[in-house]
Structure 1
Amino acid sequence: MIQSNKKGDWFEIILPAEWEKFTLESLFKDFWQAPKKLVHTYRMEKKVRINGKSPDWTLPLVKGERLQLNLFVEEEMTVVPDYHNVEIIFEDDHLIVFNKPAGMDTHPNEPEQKGTLTNAAAFHMQANGEPGRPRHVHRLDRDTTGAVLFAKNALISAILDKMLDDRHIKRTYLALADGIIRQNKGTIDKPIGRDRHHPTRRRVSETGQKAITHFKVLDRFKQKDLTLLQCSLDTGRTHQIRVHFSHLGHPLAGDSLYEGSTEFNRQALHAVKLELVHPFTQEKIICHAPFIDQPPIFFNINPYDI
């Protein structure tokens, strides 16, 4: 793990030997893959220093020198801070991972909306005296529970967005599907588009966006006619797991939007695990999300074993 610390408005990284192959320019462009516009802003506003001085962005980095980034700056909140008692699975100066409960949107759909996870994240940061604002890196459906990742500043947000696009952030789900799925594991590679006949539904469509879901069967409950699944995604389409298993004739239990059984009052879907390598410290972060208000069958599984 790379040595680092927060000093007031600045974040300081002790440059490791493995970064000597980069210049400051290539560290931002090639390693962190930060957007050109954002990097230009950091250069023009002198938000980057080495050993306290304005750096030459074209020189190779040197092990042991101090790279300083002006990350912790005041930002105007774009949502209304709103207190909610939501479990935090992981947090540092840059990231926060919540365990989202059911019945909560990830972010507001209108400027003054309250009650979402982003509102709760804004309140949490404000209460802790943090100057930035939260940015969700990905989303979960309103009634899907589990791990959701937020960034606390513009640079880490941009880096994480790119990591998500490049599938360097791994998300694992548990799902309970109607019926007995005989195949022990498999991949569903079916594009997903909007359903012309319903305002919120999605469907498998040849003209839709590419969507890939990997799954393996964890257990089969023949008496209840249910299959417990572990799923991971190569893409992040709206309702992806729900649409794919509905298309196979095995909608998720409780998922009324996709004609799932009515044994539960919402879709049985939980984002149980989130994994990434921290862009600044290179720490391997593994977050397990304990179950919240889940179907009893889920409690046969220890989320820390996934």
Structure 2
Amino acid sequence: MARRIVRTIMIERNDEISEKKGFFTGDYMLKTKRLGNYLQVAIPSNWENHAIEQILKEVWETPKKLLHQWRMDKTILLNGMQTALSTKVKENDELSLPIFTKGDYGVIPNKLQQAIQILYEDDHLIIVNKPARIATHPNGASDKTTLANGIANHLQEKGETCTVKHIHRLDQDTTGAILFAKHYFAGAILDKKLERREIKRIYVAAIHGKLTNKKGIIRTNIGRDRHHPTRRRVSPTGQTAITHFQLHQYNAKRNISTVLCWLETGRTHQIRVHFSSIGHPLVGDTLYGGKPIFHRQALHAQSIEFIHPITLEKLKVTAPFIDEMSYFYTE
């Protein structure tokens, strides 16, 4: 039986999770609650005398199409009453947004053989610990063995009807924290956060060899390998790719280093390609030159950190290992 051990290694990182959007600074958590299809938000003091439309645009960056729909349907409520988007709010007013629209799951709900470990869940999003040997989402309508299918089944068993949307992906054989949205409003906000690099993800990788530098940055473009259908390669004409790394430990007996990585970009196979390109392929990653001494590429998404798309609280969620971890850490 594989061990389940929670182990987190701290890294030296200067970037902080922070945002500034007009009158909103992101230093507090909104008081919210769900009432049927509505999200009810208590107006904080620093929103007073601002118009509802300004709040929707600057705080949540509401998509224009959705904002227009709410305006035309007159479904925004203030203190339980229909109101114009030009209305200015007062502290402790209750603003209600119809964000919980029912729809299908977007994938076929299916109970997976391996139970899904839920790391965090609320009305807006869910973060799970992805096992190895499973894809993030289906590649075709008939595919029902992915993580998204398992999450849809979890929601169905709870009696929740909502569309499952992955915000980012992990390779089939990579484990760790992965984020899904549970409604369109949260999904749209999280997509923008990912695009602006406001969702910080830390990975643990085991690589062959001893690194010369204890920390550094790999800056080489990544493109497709025209000789292989799935492989990527370093290419001057490829997309910009930047990987930061920090050495945690080196095992001389195995000649394996454990490194912590965080990305400025999210290219396919980025960590795998970058370390292979500097002569340190991931353990078990035979596609990029790693030795088959581990049953998969030794890569784990250890943590994910971001500002909650709705409540504005700062979240940091850590994913414990769910399979053999001996190639990552040695005592």
Is the pair's TM-score, using the shorter chain for normalization, greater than 0.5?
yes
Could you say what the CA RMSD is over the residues aligned between the two structures, in angstroms? 1.5
**In the alignment, is the contact (CA less than 8 A) between 1:268 and 1:294 conserved in 2?**
no
Q: What's the secondary structure of 2:328's corresponding residue? A: helix
1:82 aligns to 2:96 (yes or no): no
CA distance in 2, matches of 1:62, 1:161: 30
CA distance in 2, matches of 1:255, 1:149: 24
The CA deviation at 1:120 is 0.8
Deviations 1:249-300 (CA, angstroms, capped at 9, x unpaired) = 1111100111111111210000000111112212211110010113414355
1:46 aligns to 2:70 (yes or no): no
Which residue number corresponds to residue 304 of structure 1?
none
Q: What's the secondary structure of 2:134's corresponding residue? A: coil
Match of 1:271 among 301, 310, 324: 301
Deviations 1:20-74 (CA, angstroms, capped at 9, x unpaired) = 3743222222222232122222333334221122222224332211111112221
Which residue number corresponds to residue 116 of structure 1?
146
1:28 aligns to 2:61 (yes or no): no
**In the alignment, is the contact (CA less than 8 A) between 2:106 and 2:164 conserved in 1?**
no
1:164 aligns to 2:194 (yes or no): yes
Match of 1:195 among 215, 225, 229: 225
Match of 1:65 among 70, 93, 96: 93
- Paired AA for residue 247 in structure 2: V
1:257 aligns to 2:253 (yes or no): no
- Paired AA for residue 223 in structure 1: K
**In the alignment, is the contact (CA less than 8 A) between 1:78 and 1:111 conserved in 2?**
no
Q: What's the secondary structure of 2:237's corresponding residue? A: coil
CA distance in 1, matches of 2:75, 2:197: 29
Which residue number corresponds to residue 234 of structure 2?
204
Identity of aligned residues (%): 47
CA distance in 2, matches of 1:18, 1:184: 44
- Paired AA for residue 107 in structure 2: V
Which residue number corresponds to residue 6 of structure 1?
34
Instruction: State the TM-score, normalized to the length of structure 1.
Output: 0.94
Match of 1:288 among 297, 318, 323: 318
Deviations 1:128-173 (CA, angstroms, capped at 9, x unpaired) = 1112111000000000000000000000000000011111111000
The CA deviation at 1:218 is 0.3
**In the alignment, is the contact (CA less than 8 A) between 1:93 and 1:152 conserved in 2?**
yes
- Paired AA for residue 81 in structure 1: P
Q: What's the secondary structure of 2:159's corresponding residue? A: coil
Which residue number corresponds to residue 12 of structure 2?
none
- Paired AA for residue 235 in structure 1: T
Q: What's the secondary structure of 1:5's corresponding residue? A: strand
Which residue number corresponds to residue 14 of structure 2?
none
The CA deviation at 1:16 is 1.0
CA distance in 2, matches of 1:123, 1:47: 31
Which residue number corresponds to residue 165 of structure 2?
135
Q: What's the secondary structure of 1:296's corresponding residue? A: coil
1:239 aligns to 2:265 (yes or no): no
Q: What's the secondary structure of 1:298's corresponding residue? A: coil
Q: What's the secondary structure of 2:81's corresponding residue? A: coil
**In the alignment, is the contact (CA less than 8 A) between 2:258 and 2:329 conserved in 1?**
no
CA distance in 1, matches of 2:149, 2:43: 36
Q: What's the secondary structure of 1:285's corresponding residue? A: strand
Instruction: State the TM-score, normalized to the length of structure 2.
Output: 0.87
Which residue number corresponds to residue 179 of structure 1?
209
CA distance in 1, matches of 2:249, 2:329: 12
CA distance in 1, matches of 2:306, 2:63: 20
Greater relative contact order structure (CA < 8 Å, 6+ sep): 2
Give the unaligned 5+ runs of structure 1: 302-306
